[in-house]
């Protein structure tokens, strides 16, 4: 009997985290219906895509995006960031919670869901924010509503009226709640542990940064080396070390965001060998940039935690290769070109990343730094598994969402900031040569990008973890 379906993908090379094979894929009602060794006459498709010469990957996931919506949307908004994601082969992104208002309670979660759903070109998950005593009791409701995980900006102050993060806190600031002390962080971990979800941290020790930065500023330091002297690897290492110790005590799933230091990778590796629930991600700027390149690239590479030295880059790559690092994400955090065009110490930290994440990592495949199978693990399979959205996302399997990223591993071009789809087009990777590009993005069976042209208007919807029950809460 003939089976009608919506889409057939034929002649492509399917790539998973463990296998590479030729196959045809059939899609019906936004889900993968069947995978066959060859085109199967049993199925009749309304649309057929010939993927000959291309690799077909499970839809890519970017777990760390700041679209600033609502908030300073003159820099970026969700309409633009999700189109940039689609252009870069991303089918699902996770939106960070430090918006205005932040995603700190169930009311703000619902508002953010409604706000973003009408703009999304790709699917999305929502992070919830941890604000200590300000919202500890509200975490169970956020968990039940389906946050993808909980984020804590360790070392950052909070405005007492707006609950916005204060990135350059100085003692004595008015209407500001100082950075939370370790006892308060411990209590946050206890609350998140009861949900079974990830407690993810921006890991920098504020006390040490304050002391070292004051020392540098008093002697007039303004170079990139001075910036690193004020925010050395030790500031990240100390926070990671404390977090691991607290995770051991509380049982929370502790996740280190955007790791930048080789020393941090090593202590995380040791924690994993001990069997602790500790995971870590990194970003392209820590894999492809180093302090030694600052004179060549300039202030566009300013991010927090800052890009460190070649030795740190090499240690992070080792963490990619041995499995210590489970995912690579963008930390997409745009600022306008005028905001980034200034003196190093005064300009904000952050840049575009969601559109260049996959091309940069595919170029690493072309250079044989990683295999394409490892690429799929880092950008599809592991993120979906870690955040509880597998097998809906991150896999090519019957019943899963029909999310696919087609890549042409022979295509060569340079990253051009003028072609980026973000509202602000600031990137440290301008003119970087790349071999291996996403050429088609399909979200739940619908093409949202084809050969660099973004076709979607509002194809995306909210994705939540599979289990959202009470867990350990009573």
- Tokens linked to 306: 């800052």
Q: What is the pLDDT of residue 358?
A: 98
Considering the domain 3-56+399-454, what is its CATH architecture? Roll (2.30)
Q: What is the pLDDT of residue 35?
A: 96
| Res. 180: pLDDT tops 80 | yes
Considering the domain 60-386, what is its CATH architecture? Alpha-Beta Barrel (3.20)
Q: What is the pLDDT of residue 473?
A: 32
pLDDT-based confidence at residue 155 (cuts at 50, 70, 90):
confident
Q: What percent of the chain has pLDDT over 90?
A: 89
> Which of 164-178, 215-229, 262-276 has the least mean pLDDT?
164-178
| Res. 469: pLDDT tops 70 | no
- The helix (run of H) or strand (run of E) holding residue 458 is none
Of the candidates 30, 144, 180, the one whose C-alpha atom is nearest the C-alpha of residue 91 is 30
Q: What is the pLDDT of residue 10?
A: 96
Q: What is the DSSP letter of 324?
A: S
| Res. 393: pLDDT tops 80 | yes
Q: What is the CA radius of gyration of the chain?
A: 22
| Res. 57: pLDDT tops 70 | yes
> Which of 25-29, 206-210, 353-357 has the least mean pLDDT?
206-210
pLDDT-based confidence at residue 474 (cuts at 50, 70, 90):
very low
Where does the chain hold its CATH 3.20.20.140 domain(s)?
Answer: 60-386
| Res. 472: pLDDT tops 50 | no
- The helix (run of H) or strand (run of E) holding residue 320 is helix 310-322
Q: What is the pLDDT of residue 354?
A: 98
Mean pLDDT, the chain, rounded, equals: 95
pTM: 0.97
CA distances from 7 to 48, 154, 175, 399 (A): 6, 46, 56, 14
CB 299 within 8 A of CB 430: no
Beta bridge partners of 50: 10
Beta bridge partners of 328: 282
- Tokens linked to 389: 């959205």
Of the candidates 463, 466, 417, the one whose C-alpha atom is nearest the C-alpha of residue 91 is 463
pLDDT-based confidence at residue 468 (cuts at 50, 70, 90):
low
Q: What is the mean pLDDT of residues 385-407?
A: 98
| Res. 471: pLDDT tops 60 | no
Where does the chain hold its CATH 2.30.40.10 domain(s)?
Answer: 3-56+399-454
* E strand map for 346-471: 404-414, 433-443, 446-450, 453-454
Compute the distance between CA of residue 296 and CA of residue 414 in angstroms, rounded to an integer: 17
| Res. 65: pLDDT tops 90 | yes
Q: What percent of the chain has pLDDT over 70?
A: 98
């Amino acid at each position: 009997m003939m089976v009608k379906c919506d889409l057939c993908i034929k002649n492509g090379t399917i790539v998973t985290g463990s296998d590479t094979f030729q196959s045809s894929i059939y899609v019906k009602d936004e889900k993968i219906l069947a995978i066959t060794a060859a085109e199967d006459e049993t199925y009749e498709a309304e649309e057929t895509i010939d993927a000959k010469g291309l690799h077909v990957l499970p839809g890519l996931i970017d777990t760390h995006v700041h679209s600033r919506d609502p908030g300073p949307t003159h820099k970026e908004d969700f309409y633009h960031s999700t189109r940039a994601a689609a252009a870069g082969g991303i089918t699902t992104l996770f939106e960070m919670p430090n918006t205005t208002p932040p995603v700190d309670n169930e009311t703000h979660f619902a508002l953010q869901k409604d706000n973003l759903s009408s703009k999304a070109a790709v699917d999305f998950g929502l992070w919830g924010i941890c604000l200590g005593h300000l919202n500890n009791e509200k975490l169970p409701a956020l968990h039940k509503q389906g946050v993808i995980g909980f984020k804590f900006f360790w070392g950052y102050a909070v405005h007492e009226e707006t609950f916005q993060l204060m990135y350059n806190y100085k003692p004595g600031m008015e209407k500001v709640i100082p950075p939370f002390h370790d006892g308060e962080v411990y209590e946050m971990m206890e609350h998140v542990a009861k949900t079974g979800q990830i407690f993810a941290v921006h890991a920098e020790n504020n006390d040490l940064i304050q002391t070292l930065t004051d020392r540098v500023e008093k002697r007039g330091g303004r170079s990139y080396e001075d910036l690193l002297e004020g925010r050395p690897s030790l500031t990240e290492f100390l926070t990671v070390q404390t977090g691991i110790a607290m995770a051991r005590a509380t049982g929370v799933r502790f996740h280190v965001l955007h790791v930048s230091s080789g020393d941090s990778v090593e202590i995380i590796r040791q924690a994993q060998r001990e069997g602790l629930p500790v995971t870590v991600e990194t970003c392209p700027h820590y894999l492809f940039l180093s302090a030694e390149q600052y004179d060549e690239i300039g202030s566009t590479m300013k991010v927090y935690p800052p890009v460190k030295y070649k030795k740190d880059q090499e240690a992070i790559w080792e963490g990619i290769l041995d499995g210590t690092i489970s995912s690579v994400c963008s930390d997409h955090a745009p600022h306008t070109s005028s905001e980034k065009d200034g003196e190093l110490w005064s300009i904000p930290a952050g840049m575009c990343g969601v559109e260049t994440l996959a091309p940069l990592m595919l170029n690493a495949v072309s250079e044989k730094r990683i295999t394409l199978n490892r690429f799929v693990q880092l950008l599809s399979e592991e993120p979906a598994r870690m955040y509880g959205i597998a097998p809906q996302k991150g896999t090519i399997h019957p019943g899963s969402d029909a999310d696919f990223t087609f890549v042409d591993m022979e295509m060569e071009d340079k990253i051009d900031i003028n072609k980026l789809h973000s509202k602000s087009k600031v990137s440290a990777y301008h003119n970087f040569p790349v071999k291996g590009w996403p050429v088609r993005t399909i979200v739940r069976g619908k093409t949202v990008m084809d050969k660099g042209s973004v076709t979607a208007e509002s194809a995306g919807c909210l994705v939540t973890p599979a289990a959202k029950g009470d867990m350990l809460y009573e």
